[in-house]
Amino acid sequence: MRSFRTLREDLFRNRWSILIGLVALVVVDILQLLIPRVIKYAIDDLTSGDLGSSHLLFYGLQIFILALGVGGFRYIWRYLLLGASRRIEKSLRDRFFLHLQTLSPSYFSRTKVGDLMAHAMNDIESVRMAMALGIVFLVDTIILGLLALFFMIYIHPLLTVYAVLPMPFITVITFVFSRLVHKRYETVQKTFANLTERVRESIAGIRIIRAYVKEAIEREKLANISQEFIKRNIGLTQIWGMFFPLLLFLSNLSMALVLYLGGRLTILQSISTGDFVAFMSYLGMFVWPMMALGWAINMIQRGAASMGRINKIFAERPEIDDALAVSGPYSLRGGIEIRGLTLAHGHGGDPLLIEIRLNIEPGEKIALVGRTGAGKTVLCHLLVRMLESPQGTIFYDGVEIHRIPLKELRRDIAFVPQDTFLFSDTVRENIAMGRPDASAREVEEAARLAQIYDEIVGFPAGMETVIGEKGITLSGGQRQRIAIARAILMNSPIFILDDGLSSVDLQTEERILEGLEKFLIGKTSLLVTHRVAPLRRADRIIVLDQGRVVEMGDHATLLSRGGIYAKLYWEREMEEEIEKGKF
């Protein structure tokens, strides 16, 4: 039960719904137990010949009132208990999602999306079932079972002993079968996670699959996993298929014993006909708690196991947090200083950056160049704390980066990553993601600066056009320009563009740079680029090679030195001339 401690606050918030619901459940059990007593007196009066029409109507009215009470209070407990379980489910799913948002990228690189989806769906559903039906079954077992047994003993103790002889077997069988079901359910859940991940990956990569004509192979892979999923579910069904006939046999065996022994007692007039009928009714009620006990134990066990898996995810702590942050309003002005930054890949791996030392003044335009794998993207991610840097290596306006709260740091940095990501939402919502309160005019102005506005106007619904998942309905250049518009709209003092113009043609790039040149006045900008045009506009160019700063200076100075920068520049200049010649 320790697994459920995570739900303490949720249980406390829903305490009145749970308590009133449990009271209503107990009332339902008591009212159900009163109905056989009424029937007992009615039958005894009938057999004695003392029952008139008015008395018969009175007994019928009693049963009608009890039935109304059972129905009314059953509605109350179902509404309150099942409603509380749904609210707990929602709260748990919300916390699960919010917690995932805090985790570092490294966690998602080692965890399958399908597994997380299975946790968010199946595990949380199991917790809800434990909180709802598990509690109901447990209370029914205690209240209905004990009271039914009490009335059976009250009618005839010895007959009760014979009647309950098969009952422990019902509980044992229910418990054993529930454990078997639980194990097979675990296997089904794992297979479901694999199936979900396979479907997600196939849909996300549908264009690549078609481009390489691999539809048949993907279909076969999915068919194999689907077959495995069916096989596991059939195995689960086989257990359930044996379970109910066994329960029915044992409960009917108990009924047969009571029918024979109780019938003889009735003939010998040891008990009245009404007592015999009432005893049979109580026996029927007693069978349910015996079954429910095993179900309740299994359901709570399954919920506890699911809660345990969710708790393991809750126990995951982000590598990047505000543990060293100092509270207080921060507003970055744009000064960046890097002091001897060295970063290795993993634990003891090859260095990604080596002794980086930079001092960037507020408002300075920096271009960062280097061959693939030089460390440019790593440096950008360190500056926005998407990756964690060693303490005492990165400073903003003289303040060490770890002392600035993450929300305030990222609020003041407009970052366009190398891998553009758009949400399956409207164009307007994608651009205004960083500033949802931005006016329509501000959104349009950002789109104009990013040279995407004219194309947006041509979309079916303009700014309200819903783009496909990850922006799949757009070209690479359109996705990049919408991402740039998103960063422009933030109007932050620091602007980092990590190769964000790679999919844009040269003419559009030139127009974007012209617009950005005015927009970036007074802002610190860091542009990672493989293009020529941004280099000529930069105040300073920093050249990285194998994780080290090998050259630094303005365009003319670096070109005159004839070093790595000059070589990269002339290579790219030639490539762009060839590219222009194609049009």
Kindly list the strands in the beta sheet with 540-545, ordered across the sheet, starting from the edge strand earlier in the chain: 413-416, 494-498, 524-528, 365-369, 540-545, 548-553
The better pLDDT of the pair 120, 579 is held by 120
> Residue 285: which of 394, 172, 167 has the closest Cα?
167
pLDDT of residue 284: 79
Residue-level pLDDT at 46: 79
- The answer on pLDDT for 548 being more than 80 is yes
The structure's pTM equals 0.71
Which of the two residues, 50 and 78, has the higher pLDDT score? 78
Helix axes 83-102, 15-48, angle to 10 degrees: 150
pLDDT of 16? 92
Q: What is the pLDDT of residue 583?
A: 43
Is residue 399 predicted with pLDDT exceeding 70?
yes
Residues sharing a CB contact under 8 Å with residue 1, sequence separation 6 or more, in sequence order: 304
CB 127 within 8 A of CB 134: no
User: What integer is the mean pLDDT of 513-525?
Assistant: 87
| pLDDT mean over 195-221 | 79
pLDDT at 348 over 60: no
What is the reported pLDDT for 383?
92
- pLDDT score at 69: 93
Residues 200-205 have a mean pLDDT of 76
Residue-level pLDDT at 43: 83
- Residue 28, strand partner residues: none
Lowest mean pLDDT among 2-16, 362-376, 564-578: 564-578
Average pLDDT over residues 99-128: 82
pLDDT in tens, 432-490: 988 888 898 999 999 999 888 888 888 888 888 888 776 777 888 888 889 999 999 99
- Answer yes or no: are the C-beta atoms of 366 and 542 closer than 8 Å: yes
Q: Is the pLDDT of residue 359 over 90?
A: yes
The whole-number average pLDDT for the span 329-353 is: 81
Q: What is the mean pLDDT of residues 364-372?
A: 89
The lowest-confidence range among 7-11, 222-226, 255-259 is: 255-259
- How far apart are alpha carbons 317 and 566 in whole angstroms? 45
Burial class (CB in 10 A: 0-12, 13-18, 19+), 351: middle
The DSSP result for 413-453, as a single string, is: EEEE-SS----SSBHHHHHTTS-TT--HHHHHHHHHHTT-H
Euclidean distance between CA atoms 144 and 148, whole angstroms: 6
pLDDT surpasses 90 at 396: yes
Per-residue pLDDT averaged across 25-54, rounded?
82
Q: Which of 36-50, 177-191, 487-501 has the lowest mean pLDDT?
A: 177-191
**pLDDT tens profile 234-252:** 887 877 777 777 777 877 7
Helix (H, G, I), strand (E, B), or coil: what is residue 1?
A: coil
Question: What's the Cα-to-Cα distance from 366 to each of 55, 227, 371, 471, 503, rounded to whole Å?
Answer: 98, 56, 17, 29, 21
CB 374 within 8 A of CB 351: no
Q: 21 CB contacts (<8 Å, ≥6 apart)?
A: 76, 77, 79, 80, 81, 84
pLDDT at 513 over 80: yes
Question: What pLDDT sits at residue 23?
Answer: 92
Q: Which two tokens stand for residue 37?
A: 């007593």
Q: What is the pLDDT of residue 294?
A: 65
pLDDT attached to residue 579: 63
pLDDT mean across residues, the chain: 84
Structural domains of the chain in order of their starting residue, each with its CATH number: 7-315 (1.20.1560.10), 332-412+496-583 (3.40.50.300), 422-491 (3.40.50.300)
| pLDDT at position 278 over 70 | yes
Residue with tokens 């454990």: 179
d(CA 379, CA 355): 12
- Is the model's pLDDT at 163 over the cut of 70? yes
Q: Are 378 and 546 spatial neighbours (Cβ–Cβ below 8 Å)? A: no
Which pLDDT value is given to residue 32?
A: 87
pLDDT value at position 425? 84
**Distance between CA 80 and CA 15 in Å, rounded?**
10
Average pLDDT value for residue range 488-517:
85
- How does DSSP assign 109-146, residue by residue? HSS-HHHHHHIIIIIHHHHHHIIIIIHHHHHHHHHHHH
Mean pLDDT, residues 25-39: 88
